């Protein structure tokens, strides 16, 4: 059967997963009476809750006697490592662009990788039914982007489709018919995307996606470059540097048929298959015939820019809410995650009960922590810190991100002011239609930690911020962090409404009456810049004397709700976030007040 392998790449929220839904529906993957789900490829609970794609996944459809393997990719820059690997498996890419927003940073990032690999892109202008759509201008912007990324003449001569994935139609022109559904897109893929290149020689496959299965063990997905593979065939696994990892036997060969993976008798060159039976294989490794000596070349992955320390939860409430609490369990889980996610780097920390995890951004690390807490882990994590490096001249360099902010023009002043405080340089300012402006900055990564929430507050929730790794630049000096101190509990127990009510003048609270607290736990934000130790356990002294005036009813201001991402951005270097399956608490690294004072004195002495 004829084969085509194609990836769908786009910025977050431009409609990739919805487009895959429509392709699956119109190619006859579902039976007539079968229940069809929205965003079928987002199978993970977290993906469904947040409405984003985190892991790349493959599906397959048949159209006019040709099998088309479709790979859905994430849109957030934090998960760019997934996309970089996926492009090895495909021969063409559907570049999806929103008809109103135009090409955004992640579009630029992924397209640059795709063009470098020589893929032939098809540009799909999606959401043309939006009231603020400007399809023709967006096509010009896409052409300018391709030209700026050094596309070849052949790549610049890209075909264009217009349509709405949500409504389920595509057309070759804006005025085209909506009757054919997705047929124009299928036909264009068959015409424009070349069949997979097949090399001569024995079986070779480069591992691209890895997952664990309770019955089959580790499953590696990739495209067969040459030869073929059958169940029970003996293979060997080579690392990127050519070292032998293991000799193994393939227990199952699975191919994609619709959304399902089906066992097949033989995988042929050019097809995307999943193999089981190799306990030590991971991504970027080559699975091959025993006669092969050289591994397949794997794309280098961009380096991580942020690091966090994951440590054992040692608070007085440790072990009361989670089932996996030991350092060994946390270590094994993180090492397992690093095997399948090449954009993460996990290493032992100087501290005996801690691991340092480096990744692309706060969102990627936040998703990892959220996944672990749902699995029953208890742990405490430090504030994200930026990974600096030394250049050849011995100067310190830090990662810089390109930040694109779409905002109503009335709020652009406060955005520019806040970004300049964070040592950002504005490179572009242009109107983006509808009374909105698009601001582009080059900003240090450490200055952007925690800015998302502040931006939404400043712009009344109307701003959209997108960021992408740009490069390294000389260190830009100190950036002022949080200006307020915190309120710290002085003892262990349950918080009392009367005590919280009396402390409201000191600042907003982060806890509610009845919550368990302990000495050293952060219970609120101080109105001033210093930390304050408070008693949230003190109840009202009751007497047997009656009064004519009724005691005032305790009416509390609702507390600040701390989500995981918000908590990670809020804490300082001497604080930790305690994460359990049912709670997120903020605490000081050193719980004892005297220990904190000693550490502060030692720090001052070092500075002097």
List the binding residues for GTP: 13-18, 126-129
The 8-class DSSP code of residue 258 comes to B
Residue 387 and residue 399: Cα distance in Å, rounded?
Answer: 7
Output the known binding site: 13-18, 126-129
Angle subtended at Cα 267 by Cα 265 and Cα 270, rounded to the nearest 5 degrees: 160
**C-alpha distances in angstroms, 94 versus 8, 18, 225?**
5, 13, 22
| SS3 label, residue 567 | helix
Residue 608 and residue 606: Cα distance in Å, rounded?
Answer: 5
Residue 159 and residue 140: Cα distance in Å, rounded?
Answer: 13
Task: Report the relative pairing of strands 532-534 and 486-489 from DSSP bridges.
Answer: parallel
**C-alpha distances in angstroms, 1 versus 6, 66, 74, 112, 182?**
16, 6, 29, 31, 22
- Residue 33's φ and ψ, nearest 5 degrees, are -95, 10
Task: Report the relative pairing of strands 92-98 and 2-10 from DSSP bridges.
Answer: parallel
| SS3 label, residue 372 | helix
Residue 105 and residue 13: Cα distance in Å, rounded?
Answer: 13
For residue 340, the tally of other CB atoms under 10 A from its CB is: 17
The tokens for 276 are: 């089981």
Sign of CA dihedral 490, 495, 499, 505: positive
Identify whether the C-beta of residue 387 lies closer than 8 Å to the C-beta of residue 361.
Answer: no
- Residue 161's φ and ψ, nearest 5 degrees, are -120, 150
Instruction: List the one residue out of 77, 126, 121, 74 whose CA is nearest residue 100.
Output: 126
């Amino acid at each position: 059967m004829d084969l085509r392998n194609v990836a769908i790449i786009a910025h977050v929220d431009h409609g990739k997963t919805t487009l895959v839904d429509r392709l699956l529906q119109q190619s006859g993957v579902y039976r007539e009476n079968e229940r069809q789900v929205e965003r079928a490829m987002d199978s993970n609970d977290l993906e469904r809750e947040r409405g984003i794609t985190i892991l790349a996944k493959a599906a397959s459809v048949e159209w006019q006697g040709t099998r088309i393997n479709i790979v859905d990719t994430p849109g957030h820059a934090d998960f760019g490592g997934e996309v970089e690997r996926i492009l090895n498996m495909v021969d063409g890419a559907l570049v999806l662009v929103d008809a109103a927003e135009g090409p955004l940073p992640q579009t630029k990032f992924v397209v640059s990788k795709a063009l470098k690999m020589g893929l032939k892109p098809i540009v799909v202008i999606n959401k043309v039914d939006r009231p603020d759509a400007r399809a023709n201008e967006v096509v010009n912007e896409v052409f300018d982007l391709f030209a700026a990324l050094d596309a070849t003449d052949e790549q610049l001569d890209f075909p264009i489709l217009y349509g709405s994935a949500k409504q389920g139609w595509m057309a070759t022109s804006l005025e085209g018919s909506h009757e054919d559904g997705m047929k124009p897109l299928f036909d264009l893929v068959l015409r424009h995307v070349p069949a997979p290149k097949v090399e001569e020689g024995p079986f070779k496959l480069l591992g691209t996606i890895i997952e664990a299965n309770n019955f089959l063990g580790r499953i590696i997905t990739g495209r067969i470059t040459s030869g073929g593979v059958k169940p029970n065939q003996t293979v060997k696994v080579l690392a990127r540097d050519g070292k032998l990892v293991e000799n193994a036997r393939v227990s199952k060969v699975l191919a994609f048929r619709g959304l399902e993976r089906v066992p097949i008798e033989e995988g042929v060159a050019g097809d995307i298959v999943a193999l089981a039976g190799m306990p030590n294989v991971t991504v970027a490794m080559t699975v091959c015939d025993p006669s092969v000596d050289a591994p397949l070349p794997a794309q280098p992955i961009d380096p991580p820019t942020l690091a966090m320390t994951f440590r054992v939860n040692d608070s007085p409430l440790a072990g009361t809410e989670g089932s996996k609490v030991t350092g060994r369990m946390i270590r094994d889980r993180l090492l397992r995650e690093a095997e399948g996610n090449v954009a993460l780097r996990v290493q032992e920390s100087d501290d005996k009960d801690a691991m340092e995890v480096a990744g692309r951004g706060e969102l990627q690390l936040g998703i990892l922590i959220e996944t672990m807490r749902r699995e029953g882990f208890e742990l405490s994590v430090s504030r994200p810190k930026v990974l600096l490096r030394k250049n050849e001249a011995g100067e310190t360099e830090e990662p810089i991100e390109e930040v694109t902010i779409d905002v109503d023009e009335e709020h652009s002043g406060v955005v520019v002011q806040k970004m300049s405080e964070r040592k950002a340089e504005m490179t572009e300012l242009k109107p983006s239609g509808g009374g909105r402006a698009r601001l582009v900055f080059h900003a240090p990564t450490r200055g952007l930690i925690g800015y998302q929430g502040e931006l939404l507050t400043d712009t009344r929730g109307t701003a959209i911020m997108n960021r992408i790794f740009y490069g390294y630049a000389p260190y830009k000096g100190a950036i002022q962090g949080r200006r307020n101190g915190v309120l710290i509990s002085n003892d262990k127990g349950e918080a009392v409404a009367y005590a919280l009510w009396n402390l409201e003048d000191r600042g907003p609270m982060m806890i509610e009456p009845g919550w368990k607290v302990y000495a050293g736990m952060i219970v609120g934000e101080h109105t001033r810049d210093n930390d304050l130790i408070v008693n949230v356990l003190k109840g009202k002294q009751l007497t047997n004397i009656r009064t004519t005036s009724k005691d005032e009813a305790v009416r509390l201001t609702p507390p600040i709700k701390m989500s995981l991402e918000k908590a990670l951005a809020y804490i300082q270097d001497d604080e930790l976030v305690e994460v359990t399956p049912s709670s997120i608490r903020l605490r000081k690294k050193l719980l004892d007040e005297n220990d904190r004072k000693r550490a502060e004195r030692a720090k001052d002495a070092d500075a002097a």
